[in-house]
Amino acid sequence: MKADEKVTVEEKLGLVRFKHGKESHLSVIAEDVCVRCEGKWCTTICPAHVYEWSPEQNKVIVNWENCLETGACITGCPYANIQFQYPKGGKGVEFRYG
């Protein structure tokens, strides 16, 4: 790749390897807090779009398998309503090529 070529986010994510465990390392602590949250900030602050508001279910859906482990969700939730733990046992995301 030449220095002046642009790389898309999707191409960069292709360099990331995910080793998934059997259970989520992310959770919403109290769903009623999310219902009252006007900004739904977790759905926009996460670069991997792990959090998704479902109006049909009236709750936040957590697609934890896509997590890049940036911690943006816990800093972006004004109610501290997201529990984040790094995956156990060598699982999680592995960044390659910087």
- Domain boundaries along the sequence of the chain: 9-95
Structure letter (DSSP) for residue 64: G
Among candidate residues 16, 7, 30, the one with its CA nearest the CA of residue 69 = 16
Domain 9-95, CATH 3.30.70.20 — does that match? yes
Instruction: In whole angstroms, give the CA distance from residue 88 to residue 98.
Output: 23
Q: What are the tokens at 59? A: 């709750």
pTM of structure = 0.75
Tokens of 98: 């910087």
Model confidence pLDDT, tens digit, residues 57-76 = 999 999 988 888 888 999 98
Count the Cβ atoms, other than its own, within 10 Å of residue 72: 20
Least confident of 41-45, 86-90, 91-95: 91-95
Q: 66: which DSSP letter?
A: G
- Over 70: is that where the pLDDT of 39 sits? yes
